[in-house]
């Protein structure tokens, strides 16, 4: 009997190893050559990248049972009762008056941004499941979002903040890669794209504060307080961050996933102020508060970084935390109103042109 048990355990371990090594979802693997390359970054501390501030999540043997209990109970309000609608792409509106910045937010952290007539796509996770290798799916709030890629215009550049599944999606990249000219990514993310068939000649990696000029747009990678990883052995072995886009007439900040920290003031002092700030707002919990802000901190981070109009992102996409799906936006709006912060709250798929930012509470009547 013991022999059969040992054989079964060996089989399971072997199956796991094969799955991790050969399933494309895990992306590219780090090796000695890449580790040597990453070690040139001041964020690389021996074996992994680290944040500017000590960042420790409160998930351990003491807190895990309660967390698991909450995860499998009281799930009703974490997702909307009906799929959230996404407006279809409007090419006439998108291509009208190319002198002004435009954007379309597709929920969570997917943003199509137009600057200087160029189409930039940030964290294009259009897939239906934010946990593709987990035993239980984390389903998107909207249906058939992968099909949205077919209607998008040619993409001059995709920008990736980090390699988590809710930002870097294998199915989305497969559909997108023939439409994209260039890829700008945080340091270490290129190994995944290359594993999925994208030429290294199309990819540029960025460390924090690195910048590059692209058709009159200065693009800078900025610090955030987060982590990375797609498997069991690559945690914090690629970098994470945000982006700043600067033209002769406009300045735009994308915060990236982040806990609240001093880097927001640093970004504002070095690169601000900003006309638009797309600020992380959602998927928070007190146990992992160091890596995801509370909505009140989202407003504070916009103030710290010198944002004139704050747009909350990283919500209305997936139930990745224990809060209700409306909690991020309701708390964000309340805090912004209390502090007199100017905000915009676009619908999913809505074309927003600079100077015409919507403020409708479109989620109020949805359940």
Sketch the domain layout of the chain as residue ranges: 33-353
Q: What is the pLDDT of residue 159?
A: 99
User: With contact defined as beta carbons under 8 Å apart, do 346 and 311 qualify?
Assistant: yes
Q: What is the pLDDT of residue 16?
A: 45
**Cα diameter, the chain:** 74
Q: What is the pLDDT of residue 68?
A: 62
Q: What is the pLDDT of residue 8?
A: 44
- The two tokens of residue 32 are 């000695």
- In this prediction the pTM is 0.94
Q: What is the pLDDT of residue 6?
A: 40
Q: How far apart are CA 121 and CA 169, in angstroms?
A: 13
- Secondary structure (3-state) at 290: helix
**Which positions of the chain have pLDDT values less than 50?**
1-19
Burial class (CB in 10 A: 0-12, 13-18, 19+), 69: exposed
Superfamily for 33-353?
Ribonuclease Z/Hydroxyacylglutathione hydrolase-like (3.60.15.10)
Q: What is the pLDDT of residue 64?
A: 63
Task: Name the region of 149 (left: φ>0; alpha: ψ -120 to 50; beta: rest).
Answer: alpha
User: With contact defined as beta carbons under 8 Å apart, do 162 and 168 qualify?
Assistant: yes
Q: What is the pLDDT of residue 57?
A: 84
């Amino acid at each position: 009997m013991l022999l059969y048990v040992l054989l079964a355990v060996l089989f399971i371990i072997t199956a796991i190893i094969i799955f991790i090594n050969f399933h494309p979802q895990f992306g590219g693997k780090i090796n000695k050559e890449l580790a040597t390359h990453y070690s040139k970054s001041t964020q690389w501390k021996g074996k992994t990248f680290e944040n500017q501030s000590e960042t420790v999540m409160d998930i351990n043997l003491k807190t895990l049972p309660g967390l698991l209990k909450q995860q499998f109970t009281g799930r009703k309000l974490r997702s909307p009762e009906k799929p959230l609608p996404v407006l279809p792409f409007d090419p006439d509106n998108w291509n009208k008056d190319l002198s002004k910045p435009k954007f379309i937010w597709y929920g969570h952290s997917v943003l199509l941004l137009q600057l200087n007539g160029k189409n930039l796509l940030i964290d294009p996770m259009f897939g239906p499941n934010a946990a593709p290798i987990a035993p239980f799916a984390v389903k998107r709030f909207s249906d058939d979002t992968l099909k949205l890629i077919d209607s998008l215009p040619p993409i001059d550049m995709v920008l990736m903040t980090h390699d988590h599944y809710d930002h870097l999606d294998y199915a989305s990249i497969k559909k997108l890669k023939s439409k994209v000219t260039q890829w700008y990514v945080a340091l270490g993310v290129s190994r995944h794209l290359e594993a999925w068939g994208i030429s290294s000649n199309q990819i540029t990696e960025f460390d924090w504060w690195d910048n590059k000029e692209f058709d009159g747009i200065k693009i800078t990678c900025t610090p955030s307080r987060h982590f990375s990883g797609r498997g069991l052995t690559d945690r914090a072995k690629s970098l994470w961050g945000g982006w700043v886009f600067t033209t002769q007439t406009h300045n735009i900040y994308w915060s990236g996933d982040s806990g609240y920290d001093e880097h927001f003031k640093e970004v504002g002092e070095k690169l601000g102020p900003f006309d638009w700030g797309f600020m992380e707002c959602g998927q928070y919990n007190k146990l992992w508060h160091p890596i995801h802000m509370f909505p009140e901190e989202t407003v504070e981070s916009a103030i710290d970084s010198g944002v004139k109009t704050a747009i909350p992102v990283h919500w209305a996409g997936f139930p990745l935390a224990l809060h209700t799906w409306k909690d991020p936006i309701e708390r964000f709006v309340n805090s912004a109103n209390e502090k007199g912060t100017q905000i915009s709250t676009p619908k999913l798929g809505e074309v927003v042109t600079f100077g015409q930012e919507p403020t409708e509470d479109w989620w109020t009547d949805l359940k």
